[in-house]
Amino acid sequence: MKPPAFDYVCARSLDEAIDALGRRPGEAKILAGGQSLTPMLNFRLAHPGMLVDINRIPGIDAIRDDDGGVRIGTLARHRAIEVSDSIRKKFPILTAAAAHVGHLAIRNRGTFGGSIAHADPAAEWPMLALLLDAQIEAKGPQGARTIPAREFFTTFLTTALGDAEILTEVKLPALPAKTGWGFEELSRRPGDFALAAVAAIVTLDGKTIKDARISMGGVGGTPLRAPGAEALLRGKPADAALFEQAGKKAAEESDPSNDVHATADYRRHLVSVLTRRALTSAAEKAAQG
Amino acid sequence: MSAKHKISVTLNGKKIEREVEPRLLLGDFLREEIGLLGVHHGCEQGVCGACTILLNGDSVRACLMFAVQADGAEITTVEGIGEPGNLHPLQQSFWDHHALQCGFCTPGMLLTSIDLIKKYPLENDEQIRHGLSGNICRCTGYQNIVTAVREAAPGLRAAK
């Protein structure tokens, strides 16, 4: 037996799960796909007194069209996102990023909501939620609330969710017409967490950049937007020199640390290169769209 | 010790019932309670792929879920896909192309590949390699594994 002993509750509804979490505040953890939590238990890096399994709650894995955007149920598996027609049509950046999420066996089991609630700064879904200005819906003993992605990720592996709150659904608002995307990630081996990743979307008005958003992963305690680089792009004609400049600005706005995988300087360098590539690819797609 | 939970699982086509402690990993359950020693535990953190099994037809890591969660599921391990004298076509292909040496990674390679062949077109070796990148082999250098999957894939698709 590797994991520490815990009590197990298999919830059949969100209310039942919230109730169970509320009975053991600070001690109970939600078990969704378990692809991050179980390794932590196997190594005894986490000691929850209780696991509340949400895998058998009906309906919370749905991916639904909503007002031009989509709503992704918390229990939607990575694999369901990878193959969703609706997501491919409206947010192809998610389809592309899904291929970077772990490996097939991990994607079969791991969940969208679980990844966002786990809030690893190098994971794909948190940085894309931030990029796409996701509205994160949560339910707890005090009822339901909506948390904008910008306020959701507070620090390393930490979110705005309360102890007995469950992330229930993520709403991705529709993107404007003439919007293209770019997703660039560098990891040492396929399926590894990113040394650095950059996602960008660019909205064009003719040749002028009407709006640009940049989100960075693996280079700070949380996924980060690059507001300075975004401001620098707005209202200017899309060209290679501008993207180069925006890349440098984004690198300044990143906050990487040194670790066993890479130095902070190298990660900052990656941000500048990956940002330039992501913007270039986003602008090309926006021009075609 | 936490209360035990009763589970019922269809294992390689046979229905079984057991009582399990919540913290018992599915992989440990299969190995130690059932004796299916083809489920190999390497890293126990989801990285090496040796413990990969099929859960309701999808490949999953047996080290990253608990036995209690498998209640009602259909599980296939390497013992369930073929046997000596009656190998699964993919096992036969591994045999023909010398795609294993020590054999530790083989059950995971086989079950992962079965799921990959079902879900991806695998149009070239690069795609096969990418698909198998979550399964670590320290013997073969992968070349013969890629060959075995490439050669078996069309037959497996046609057989469906």
- The topology under which CATH files domain A63-172 is 3.30.465
Q: Which of B5, B19, B21, B23 is the best mutation test for A, with the most CBs of A within 10 A?
A: B23
pLDDT digit string, tens, across residues B23-46: 999 999 999 999 999 999 999 999
pLDDT score, position B1: 59
CATH number (3.40.50.300, 3.30.420.10, 3.50.50.60, 3.30.390.50) of A180-288 reads 3.30.390.50
| Chain A residues near residue B1 by CB distance under 8 angstroms | 5
CATH code of the domain containing B19: 3.10.20.30
- Say what percent of chain B tops pLDDT 70: 99
Where along chain A do its domains lie?
A: 7-53, 63-172, 180-288
Q: Which domain holds residue B99?
A: 89-158
> Confidence class of residue A193 from pLDDT cuts 50, 70 and 90?
confident
Q: What is the pLDDT of residues A82-115, one digit of tens each?
A: 999 999 999 999 999 998 899 999 999 999 999 9
Task: State how many domains chain B has.
Answer: 2
Distance CA A10, CA A28 (A): 13
CATH number of B143's domain: 1.10.150.120
> Cα distance from B5 to chain A (closest Cα, Å)?
9
CB contact under 8 A, A104 and B119: yes
Note the ipTM here: 0.96
**Quick check: B23 and A38 CB within 8 A?**
no
Assigned CATH topology for domain A7-53: 3.30.43
pLDDT digits (tens, 9 = 90+) for B58-72: 999 999 999 999 999
Angle in degrees, 0-180, between the axes of helices B143-159 and B89-96, rounded to the nearest 10: 150
Q: How far is A59 from chain B (nearest CA, A)?
A: 18
A64 by DSSP, 3-state: which?
Answer: strand
Q: What is the pLDDT of residues A121-149, one digit of tens each?
A: 999 999 999 999 999 999 999 999 999 99
Contact B112/A105, CB-based, under 8 Å? yes
Contact between residue B59 and residue B52 where contact means Cβ atoms under 8 Å apart: yes
pLDDT above 70 for A1: no
Calculate the alpha carbon distances from B128 to A95, A260, B97, B115, B147 in Å: 19, 30, 15, 12, 9
pLDDT of residue B160: 66
The alpha carbon of residue A8 is apart from the nearest alpha carbon of chain B, in Å, by: 6
The answer to whether B86 faces chain A, any CB pair under 8 Å, is no
Half-sphere exposure of B78 (CA within 13 A, CB side): 26
Residue of A75, A81, A103 best to disrupt the B interface, most CBs of B under 10 A: A103
Helix (H, G, I), strand (E, B) or coil at B112: helix
Taking all residues of chain A, what is their mean pLDDT, rounded to a whole number?
96
Tokens representing A267 are 């990660």
Q: How far is A176 from chain B (nearest CA, A)?
A: 32
